[in-house]
Amino acid sequence: MRKIIFWVHTSIDGHIDGPNGEFDWPVMGEELSAYSEALADRSDTFLYGRGVWEGMVAFWPNAESMSDHPHVLKFAPRWRETPKIVFSRTLKETDWATRIIGDDLAEQAAELKRQDGKDLLLTGGSSLAAALTEHGLIDEYHIAVHPVVLGGGRPLFVPRDERLGLRLAESRTCDSQVVVMRYDRV
């Protein structure tokens, strides 16, 4: 069975974006870029919620014209070629997405996991990750903690009624500044 892998960047105070929605603080050094690319190598489909999707589709289709960062140059062609699924109740059509799933989130995601193929990579956001977590559908949480205090913004994990038990499977420091932790669902 395929896994859903959640890959997210956070500040040390637990926010995935700044108080005004800014996402200009993650630093993709060589080691962190390699880690991210290895997750993409394990996957044959990228998953997004609407909010993250809007940021991705505003950048990655023409990323090379906006940045010459080595990670951007390597990942942009892969992003364009990889099938992408957006989970949204409000988005009805969009360029670059292979499919939009608007209802039956749990059943649709479970069906994706049952299909043949490589793993499914969910990048960023908190709402979709929270919904998939609620249904026990995320198998691995890869959290990159960046050395910045944002002082506000969306929390990495939305409040929930019950505890979520995870098992630390790996931790490492990338580029002498970012701590990446991989947790597996218990």
Q: pLDDT tens across 148-174, in order?
A: 999 999 999 988 888 999 999 999 999
Domain ranges of the chain: 4-185
Q: What is the 3-state secondary structure (H, E, C) of 32-92?
A: HHHHHHHHHHCEEEEEEEHHHHHHHHHHHHHHHHCCCCHHHHHHHHHHHHCCEEEECCCCC
Task: Tally helices (H) and strands (E) across the chain.
Answer: 5, 8
Helix (H) / strand (E) containing 120: strand 119-123
Q: How many CB atoms within 10 Å of residue 14?
A: 15
Q: Which fold has domain 4-185?
A: Dihydrofolate Reductase, subunit A (3.40.430)
What percent of the chain stands above pLDDT 90? 96
Predicted local distance difference test score (pLDDT) of residue 96: 95
Predicted local distance difference test score (pLDDT) of residue 79: 98
